[in-house]
Amino acid sequence: MHQETTIGARLRALRRWRGMTLDQLAGQAGLSKSFLSMAERGQRSLDRRSHIAALADALRVSETDLVGGPHLGPDPVQSRPHTYIPALRTALETNGFHQGPAVERARPVPALAALMNGPIEQHRRRYDYVGVGEALPDLIDELHWHVSESADEPTQRLALETLVEAYMCAAGMARALRHPDLGHVAAMRADETAVLLDDPIARGKAAFSLVRPNASNWHRVKGMAERAANRLEPHVKDQAGRQVLGMLTLNAALASAASRDLQSAEHWLREARALSGHVPDDLEGNWQAFGRTNVAIWYITVGVEAGKGGREIAELAGAVDVRKLEAHPGRKTCFLADVGRGMARDPRHRDEAIGWFERSEEAAPQRFRNDPKIRESIAVMLEQARVASQGRELRGMAARMGLLH
């Protein structure tokens, strides 16, 4: 179990290990000395991707070194999803397109596609990693069997299309549980599969998974995200294509904010909002829930990454129709958590932040209790807590996340 309470505490240990002063680190990372001093003392959150990337680069360490890997606590809701990572890793490491299948037989492809698009997708939308983990490794094995053994081109294409979604699902689960390298391998597998399909929409889907905002070199990621959106745009002919393009533009907006290019971030958010006007606002039916409501949620996500907090985030939250989120618990928990993170930055709104966090945890506890950004916000709030009632609520959350309290 990791014993560091905040990312700032780990930052201090890594800085001293490198023999750097606060002045040196602040200068190289482009951050203020006072901010870093407060972060090291647990008084300011290090939950912005741009800050984490800049500090990791200055310290010459990986983001995982700075943020920490999987946090395995005693709470079964938090820890049980991690037991499915070994099987997922085996499926990713033992399947390929230039070798024989890892299994000797498989269920029919239509049944596998129905499993991926039905139960597994529903588990994914609820961030139920236990449900995903129980079914996904076998599904990947069996889809590869069909790609290798099927002589029927339509069946093989359906297997490849389903495999793109399966690998994307694997990437999302691995990253959420703090296995970023495994997540990147899964995303690369999705891209390899989409290349075999020779379908620009499938390539766009895979790009959304491959160019996810989790890397340290944000300027490079921003370029990759923008190129993926521009590459897909000429091939978009229908609503399905617009949904994929829309999610790529949202990726580009977040990557721009993380690379501190707020003008580009605003440009890509406007592009996403324009695209959302040409598709139904259907979180349950649209690919990755793209639509007006999801774009409104991403405005908050990008805003938090850009440093907004307090009333600014509250105003953005007011533009989201919360009733629509009941159809998609995953989007709901992300919305609630990002609002909580933004509100937590302003001491005047800390009580409100706790309420947002409580609702987020209720919506999808497995994701909430494994999210490093939420973990950091709660750890810092715990350090700052002075009111007994506030402390009790925070200590309860901290206990379920495996934080010292």
> What tens digit of pLDDT does each residue of 303-335 get?
999 999 999 999 999 999 999 999 999 999 999
Question: Is the pLDDT confidence value at 214 over 70?
Answer: no
Most confident among 161-170, 207-216, 338-347 (mean pLDDT):
161-170
How many Cβ atoms sit within 10 Å of the Cβ of residue 348?
A: 9
> What tens digit of pLDDT does each residue of 137-178 get?
999 999 999 999 987 999 999 999 999 999 999 999 999 999
How do the domains of the chain map onto residue ranges? 1-68, 81-210, 308-405
Q: Where are the beta strands (DSSP E) in 167-235?
A: none
Share of the chain above pLDDT 90, in %: 78
- CATH domain 1-68 topology: 434 Repressor (Amino-terminal Domain) (1.10.260)
Mean pLDDT of 194-213: 92
Question: Is the pLDDT confidence value at 378 over 60?
Answer: yes
Mean pLDDT of 224-235: 96
What is the pTM (predicted TM-score) of this model?
0.89
- Quick one: pLDDT band at residue 4, thresholds 50, 70, 90? low
d(CA 341, CA 378): 9
Q: Which one, of 294, 303, 207, lies nearest residue 262 by Cα?
A: 303
- Quick one: pLDDT band at residue 2, thresholds 50, 70, 90? very low
Quote the mean pLDDT of the chain: 92
Q: Where are the beta strands (DSSP E) in 233-312?
A: none
pLDDT of residue 352: 93
d(CA 242, CA 69): 35
Mean pLDDT of 52-81: 87
